[in-house]
Amino acid sequence: MTKITKVIFFDEKPEDLKQFVQSTFSKIHEELEEHLDAINENTNEIQANYEYLCELDKKIQHLQEEIKQLKNIISEITGQPIQSKPEIHQIQPLTQEEQKVFLALYSESKPISYLELAQKLNLSLTLIRTYVTNLISKGIPVQKTYIKGRPLISLEPGFKELQAKENIVGLNQKLLGFNQKF
């Protein structure tokens, strides 16, 4: 932003002062308009990227469904069930807060929104997004689905079963009592 400095003397004419103030506000207005245009361009780009990612997610989900159907057809033709290779999950240790978010997701039977999760845990939406991002980066398979452009998250069902059997996340036993509050 442009820095405008003017020393005002008491002997200046009111018209000169008025003209100075008007020109100053005019310059500020122009700069704010330029900033607004830049923000709008960025917003449009972000929205376009978001819509593109939503479409990619739909296509990936569709491909997964088709692969599942193909496996079923092959299984019917051969009479042999197709066994998927067991996934090896490398989970990095979770902080206590991340474990609480994980348990909240684990206890859900259906996908949940970030806002619902934030309300459930009494945490800010920003913190929830950060913790979910951390879970994903540490190897937790979090699924995102979009309903009417609204992201919903859940744990992959197979991973939930594996966690129930083997505690591969290494949950702190003290936190398991925390899960009972839900």
Residue 20 belongs to a domain:
yes
Comparison of pLDDT for 176 and 124, the residue scoring more = 124
Asked whether residue 11 falls in the same domain as residue 71, the answer is yes
Q: For residues 154 and 156, give the distance between their C-alpha atoms in angstroms, rounded to a whole number.
A: 6
Q: Which of 18, 49, 83 is the last residue of a domain?
A: 83
Asked whether residue 62 falls in the same domain as residue 112, the answer is no
pLDDT recorded at residue 131: 93
- Is pLDDT of 121 > 90? yes
Sign of torsion over alpha carbons 162, 165, 170, 172: positive
Q: For residues 83 and 71, give the distance between their C-alpha atoms in angstroms, rounded to a whole number.
A: 9
Are 171 and 104 contacting, i.e. CB atoms less than 8 angstroms apart?
no
- The pTM of this model reads 0.53
Are 181 and 104 contacting, i.e. CB atoms less than 8 angstroms apart?
no
Q: HEC profile for the chain?
A: CCCCCCCCCCCCCHHHHHHHHHHHHHHHHHHHHHHHHHHHHHHHHHHHHHHHHHHHHHHHHHHHHHHHHHHHHHHHHHCCCCCCCCCCCCCCCCCHHHHHHHHHHHCCCCCEEHHHHHHHHCCCHHHHHHHHHHHHHCCCCEEEEEECCEEEEEECHHHHHHHHHHCCCCCCHHHHCHHHHC
Q: Which of 32, 58, 83 is the last residue of a domain?
A: 83
Asked whether residue 47 falls in the same domain as residue 121, the answer is no
Residue 90 belongs to a domain:
no
- Is pLDDT of 176 > 70? no
Task: Give pLDDT tens digits for 4-50.
Answer: 555 555 556 777 778 888 888 888 988 888 888 778 777 777 777 77
Asked whether residue 58 falls in the same domain as residue 103, the answer is no
Asked whether residue 2 falls in the same domain as residue 71, the answer is yes
| Residue 53: domain span | 1-83
Residue 89 belongs to a domain:
no
Asked whether residue 78 falls in the same domain as residue 100, the answer is no
Task: Give pLDDT tens digits for 129-173.
Answer: 999 999 988 888 988 888 877 889 999 888 888 888 888 787 766
Residue 88 belongs to a domain:
no
Q: Give the pair of three-digit tokens for residue 84.
A: 């998927």
Give me the CATH number covering residue 172.
1.10.10.10
pLDDT recorded at residue 56: 82
Number of domains in the chain: 2
- Is pLDDT of 182 > 50? no
Asked whether residue 121 falls in the same domain as residue 161, the answer is yes
Asked whether residue 117 falls in the same domain as residue 68, the answer is no
Asked whether residue 71 falls in the same domain as residue 105, the answer is no
Task: Give pLDDT tens digits for 52-96.
Answer: 877 888 888 888 888 888 888 888 888 887 766 555 567 888 898
In this prediction, residues 101-127 reach a mean pLDDT of 92
